[in-house]
Amino acid sequence: MATETLPQTEREELISGSEAIAIACSLADVDVITAYPIRPYDTVMQYVSKLKADGAFDCDFIVAESEHSQFEIVKHASAVGARTFCGSSGVGWFYAFEAITVTAGLRLPVVAMVGNRALDDPGAFGVEHNDAMAVRDLGWMLYWVGTAQEAFDIALLAWRIAEDPRVFLPMAISCDGSFLTHSQAIVNVPTQEQVDRFLPQYDRGRLQLHPDNPITVAPQVNEDWLMEIRRQTDDAMRRSSDVIREAYDEFKQLFGRGDDSPFIEEYMTEDADIVLVGMGTLAMPVRVAVRRMREQGKKVGFVRVKFFRPFATDEIREALSHCKAVGVIDRDYSYGSPSYGGVLFNEIRSALYTLDNRPLMQSFIAGLGGREVLVRDVEEMTSMVQDSIDSGQVKEENTWIGVRE
Amino acid sequence: MSTVAVEVVYRGIFQKTLARNIVRTIVFAARKEGKIGTAFGRYGDSPERNGIPAKQFAIVSDSPEELEENLAVYEAGEVDVTINVDDTMCKGIESWAWYGLQPINALTKPGGTLIVTSRQEADALIEDIHQKDSPFNLAIVPATTSFSGLWVYKDDHTDVRILGALAKVCPELVSLDSMVAALEDQGWGGLKLTSARNSFDRTTQRPVEPGEGNDETPFTFELLGWRAMEDGLVIRGIDGATGFRGGSLAEDYDPIRSNASGDTDYQPTRNSVFKKFSTRSMRPVINFETCIKCTLCWLQCPDTCFDVTPDGLYDANMDACCGCAVCEAVCPVPDCITMVNEAEFNDNDSQWEHWTRDKDGYEKWMTELIEVQKAHDADSERSHGYHSPGKYEAESESEVALTGDDD
């Protein structure tokens, strides 16, 4: 619990997750922001340009001619020591991929917002997690946001964590299109003084590309060097867990809010027979369903995975080691994957493999393309998991929920 | 423990800011009473399209947990109050994302209220509004439909008048004092606050009984399951164009030359379940006597809504017309095409058939409509948004005079 909370001088705003991140950009005094419009990410650039036009925020705001340029510009800006922000959605994020992949390799702490969107074609604006998920193996830290307040908070945390010299890795903040990017909720916005106390200046030190510090970045390397470089990035990702914990604890102390863990949120899991797992805003209907099922005496709990990278193997193992069965709700797909399960499902199943008492595991694909995950869908999934417990085996390892037959 | 849901049905571009002002102020006012709320636009909408019906919502609850319960369903299944800021949408609405006509009061809960801004009488509106199985109330805020642009806002007090009326018809949401306090917080004062208070005092509700109103069945269509859909994102084309009203095309028919010379009747292919007329707030009225068959309306219409008649005239299909007024703009003959307020019409019938059947009757009907419209134009009645500097200021003045005066 918070011991040294600052005076309650935060102001209340009615804003979307996108607007929250734009305000975080201004309070974090980001130096370079690049933009290229695609829904739903474009809501952030709208708010950033408004703040700038209103004279409330001084930054280099560059509307690039494509997503690829957008991510190239922040990559280079980050190398010379500028604090950076950018973002995209769906296929826009994919168009920038050449720049995105090297950003992690060069250890540049770019912070990006991904407004989760289905990958066209077919043209669709609604949320799917496959877009952001594509960087999961590349050295980007990857966070899934639940509320507009959390979008604000994690943005501040993102620069703090990414720019820590022990880490120097980029971070993507994933916000479900519509539910976060286009819905306005009450958000507490701290003062500049509070933010300054939490967030130090970005100091790239000996790695800064500057005439006074002559260095070459990213020369050609072959098999003599590459594996060692990959191992360095791997080690940075391993180190990031402690940095995240440290930053999160300090954030909770200063601002007086936050969960027990920065990596996962547990909801009514202590005595649960069935634990559902998911990411992002589907937590809302799941929590409501869990409360209703609890009222009927069903022992159901929920784990919301917040950091997908780094994956909190130990915490997730601990949270899921006492239940009889786990149902993972993926807002993504992975065609031809093990058991045809979702991406999160297979990660979780892998993490639990070494447990002595492994729970039954069941995969659900739901809410694709922005389709709502309804309370009754959650109840249906839970009852299917209960059937597995009753019969002692999982008959259908993967089920698509809410699809018209 | 209570939750109140309000939806604002508005027209894309023209009323996006108006809708946003309303839903945000509702949440601010609720905060004044210690409640919590959220405001959002329906994501499937595309409010950057002229006139397209779209929705914004405000949900207000006593506690965060209760708000979460209600947000577990993103688009509310029912609302306490529906606010319709353009009375022509009383005929029903079809959003950009969802093809099928939805009655304006579809989400209005039993005993709830539909607030409409209109200069029409209640009985005229009820003729348009679809019947419900349950009773609801109709409240009218007397006002000319407030249309602005995406980047400019006409401050004609429509927002505060609706909010004043809302506090009256739904006291369990927030009090008038909280509403006024929320307006003051946003920097609004003086005459705007008077407008809100006057609207509160003057708003009355007219009960609408089950079965009262428009008895048409709104058109719908079935969404296919994944097994029935064709692979590969393929949509089959619809059978080709025909002669007028389904007749066969002339033997020497050529899609460009024949139509341009007006020597054959022609009707383009249209999707029977993709109608776009609820986007329309004005419709073209055509004087077939003065038409010179120049083809410009037929050529320029962005929605291909003109059918070529056997006598080489052009009949605007009212299921397909979005009311964009391009035809009126390109027509070289004075008063041959006149855009008229959609509220004046109760069907989508063919004007050409009407004219063919009864030329004198049509002439009288048309002349009256045009006269009414011209009188309205002089009074800044209805138009498609921003046209010239100073326009909104002039329009706002006459609007504010409607309710902004002190009694």
Tell me: do B172 and B251 sit in the same domain: no
Are the CB atoms for A3 and A253 separated by under 8 Å?
Answer: yes
Domain pair A11-255 / A264-400, same fold: yes
CA atoms within 13 A on the CB side of B258: 15
Which residue range is the domain that position B17 belongs to?
3-208
User: At A375, is the secondary structure helix, strand, or coil?
Assistant: helix
Among the candidates B208, B230, B261, a domain finishes at B208
pLDDT at B221: 84
A356 phi, psi to nearest 5 deg: -70, -45
How many whole angstroms separate alpha carbon B266 and alpha carbon B312? 9
- Give the pLDDT confidence of A29-66 residue by residue, as tens digits: 999 999 999 999 999 999 999 999 999 999 999 999 99
Domain containing B372 — which CATH number?
Answer: 3.30.70.20
User: Any CB–CB contact under 8 A between A123 and chain B?
Assistant: no
How many whole angstroms separate alpha carbon A182 and alpha carbon A45? 13
User: Any CB–CB contact under 8 A between A368 and chain B?
Assistant: no
> Going along A156-260, which residue ranges are E strands?
171-176, 183-189
How many whole angstroms separate alpha carbon A266 and alpha carbon A319? 8
Whether omega before B47 lies within 30 degrees of 0, making that bond cis, reads no
Among the candidates B208, B228, B256, a domain finishes at B208
Q: What are the extents of the domains in chain A? A: 11-255, 264-400
- Give the pLDDT confidence of A319-374 residue by residue, as tens digits: 999 999 999 999 999 999 999 999 999 999 999 999 999 999 999 999 999 999 99
CB nearest B24 (choices: A14, A375, A404): A14
How many whole angstroms separate alpha carbon B137 and alpha carbon B189? 30
User: Any CB–CB contact under 8 A between A53 and chain B?
Assistant: no
DSSP-derived secondary structure for A131-160: HHHTTTTTT-EEEE--SHHHHHHHHHHHHH
Tell me: do B7 and B150 sit in the same domain: yes
Tell me: do B126 and B187 sit in the same domain: yes
**Which chain B residue has its CA at the smallest distance from A185's CA?**
B38
Are the CB atoms for B343 and B129 separated by under 8 Å?
Answer: no
The rounded Cα A348 to chain-centroid distance in angstroms is 16
Tell me: do B169 and B268 sit in the same domain: no
- Give the pLDDT confidence of A199-226 residue by residue, as tens digits: 999 999 999 999 999 999 999 998 999 9
Q: Residue A32: which of A55, A64, A54 has the closest Cα? A: A64
- Assigned token pair, A58: 């001084």
User: Any CB–CB contact under 8 A between A290 and chain B?
Assistant: no
Question: What is the pLDDT confidence band of residue A9, given thresholds at 50, 70 and 90?
Answer: confident
- Give the pLDDT confidence of B365-399 residue by residue, as tens digits: 999 999 988 877 665 556 665 556 677 777 777 77
User: Any CB–CB contact under 8 A between B185 and chain A?
Assistant: no
Q: Are residues A177 and B27, on separate chains, in Cβ contact within 8 Å? A: no
- Assigned token pair, B83: 């606010």
Tell me: do B128 and B176 sit in the same domain: yes
Tell me: do B185 and B248 sit in the same domain: no
- Percent helix, percent strand, percent coil in chain B, to nearest 5: 35, 20, 50
How many whole angstroms separate alpha carbon A236 and alpha carbon A239? 5
Q: Which residues face A142 on adjacent strands?
A: A172, A309
- What is residue B74's DSSP assignment? S
Question: What is the pLDDT confidence band of residue A3, given thresholds at 50, 70 and 90?
Answer: very low
- Give the pLDDT confidence of A237-295 residue by residue, as tens digits: 999 999 999 999 999 999 999 999 999 999 999 999 999 999 999 999 999 999 999 99
pLDDT at B152: 83
pLDDT at A1: 38
Tell me: do B263 and B129 sit in the same domain: no
User: Any CB–CB contact under 8 A between A403 and chain B?
Assistant: yes
Q: Does residue B235 belong to any structural domain of this protein? A: no
Are the CB atoms for A390 and A396 separated by under 8 Å?
Answer: no
Q: Are residues B226 and A404, on separate chains, in Cβ contact within 8 Å? A: yes
- Assigned token pair, B354: 């009407």
How many separate domains does chain B show?
2
CB nearest B24 (choices: A184, A288, A374): A184
User: What residues contact A220, with CB distance under 8 A and at least 6 apart?
Assistant: none
Which residue's entry shows tokens 């920038």?
A: A96
CB-CB neighbors (< 8 A) of A370 in chain B: 43-44
- Give the pLDDT confidence of B207-245 residue by residue, as tens digits: 999 999 999 999 888 889 999 999 998 888 887 888 888
CB-CB neighbors (< 8 A) of A187 in chain B: none
User: Any CB–CB contact under 8 A between A389 and chain B?
Assistant: no
Residues A140, A143, A148, A151: is their CA dihedral positive or negative? negative
How many whole angstroms separate alpha carbon A242 and alpha carbon A247? 9
Low-confidence ranges of chain B (pLDDT < 50): 407
Q: At what angle do helices B64-71 and A283-295 cross, to 10 degrees?
A: 110
Among the candidates B208, B231, B259, a domain finishes at B208
For chain A, the average pLDDT equals 95
For the whole model, what pTM was predicted? 0.92
DSSP-derived secondary structure for B246-269: GPPPPTT--TTHHHHHT-S-BB--
Q: What is the CATH number of domain A11-255?
A: 3.40.50.970
CB nearest A405 (choices: B68, B72, B227): B227
Q: Does residue B214 belong to any structural domain of this protein? A: no
How many whole angstroms separate alpha carbon A244 and alpha carbon A261? 10
Tell me: do B258 and B167 sit in the same domain: no
CB nearest B36 (choices: A182, A186, A403): A186
pLDDT at B374: 82
Min Cα–Cα distance to chain A from B181, Å: 16
User: What residues contact A334, with CB distance under 8 A and at least 6 apart?
Assistant: A340, A341, A342, A343, A346
How many whole angstroms separate alpha carbon B171 and alpha carbon B203? 13
User: Any CB–CB contact under 8 A between B135 and chain A?
Assistant: no
pLDDT at B405: 57
pLDDT at A302: 98
Q: Are residues B72 and A179, on separate chains, in Cβ contact within 8 Å? A: no
Tell me: do B172 and B95 sit in the same domain: yes
DSSP-derived secondary structure for B348-363: ---HHHHHHH-HHHHH
Q: Which helix (H) or strand (E) holds A20?
A: helix A17-27
Q: What is the ipTM for the molecules in this complex?
A: 0.90
For chain B, the average pLDDT equals 89
User: Any CB–CB contact under 8 A between A284 and chain B?
Assistant: yes
How many whole angstroms separate alpha carbon B306 and alpha carbon B320? 9
Whether omega before B207 lies within 30 degrees of 0, making that bond cis, reads no
User: What residues contact B112, with CB distance under 8 A and at least 6 apart?
Assistant: B78, B79, B80, B81, B82, B136, B137
Q: What is the CATH number of domain A264-400?
A: 3.40.50.920
Which residue's entry shows tokens 């300090």?
A: A250
Tell me: do B12 and B140 sit in the same domain: yes
User: What residues contact A308, with CB distance under 8 A and at least 6 apart?
Assistant: A133, A136, A142, A143, A144, A279, A344, A347
Q: Does residue B225 belong to any structural domain of this protein? A: no
Min Cα–Cα distance to chain B from A188, Å: 13
Question: What is the pLDDT confidence band of residue A234, given thresholds at 50, 70 and 90?
Answer: very high
Min Cα–Cα distance to chain A from B115, Å: 23
Are the CB atoms for B303 and B320 separated by under 8 Å?
Answer: yes
B43: left (phi > 0), else alpha (psi -120 to 50), else beta?
A: alpha
Tell me: do B175 and B293 sit in the same domain: no
Q: Does residue B164 belong to any structural domain of this protein? A: yes
A374-389: average pLDDT: 97
How many whole angstroms separate alpha carbon A240 and alpha carbon A164? 9
Are the CB atoms for A38 and A89 separated by under 8 Å?
Answer: yes
CB nearest A185 (choices: B38, B44, B233): B38
Q: Does residue B54 belong to any structural domain of this protein? A: yes
How many whole angstroms separate alpha carbon A299 and alpha carbon A295? 9
Q: Are residues A126 and B43, on separate chains, in Cβ contact within 8 Å? A: yes
Tell me: do B199 and B55 sit in the same domain: yes
How many whole angstroms separate alpha carbon A195 and alpha carbon A251? 10
- Give the pLDDT confidence of A135-182 residue by residue, as tens digits: 999 999 999 999 999 999 999 999 999 999 999 999 999 999 999 999
Q: Is the pLDDT confidence value at A5 over 60?
A: no
Q: Does residue B401 belong to any structural domain of this protein? A: no
Domain containing B93 — which CATH number?
Answer: 3.40.920.10
Tally Cβ neighbours within 10 Å of residue A113: 33
Q: Does residue B390 belong to any structural domain of this protein? A: no
User: Any CB–CB contact under 8 A between B189 and chain A?
Assistant: no
How many whole angstroms separate alpha carbon B81 and alpha carbon B6? 5
Q: Which helix (H) or strand (E) holds A265?
A: strand A264-267
Q: Residue B90: which of B176, B188, B9, B202 has the closest Cα? A: B9
User: What residues contact B316, with CB distance under 8 A and at least 6 apart?
Assistant: B283, B284, B286, B297, B301, B305, B306, B327, B351
Q: Over pLDDT 90: what percentage of chain A?
A: 95
Which residue's entry shows tokens 């669709």?
A: A124
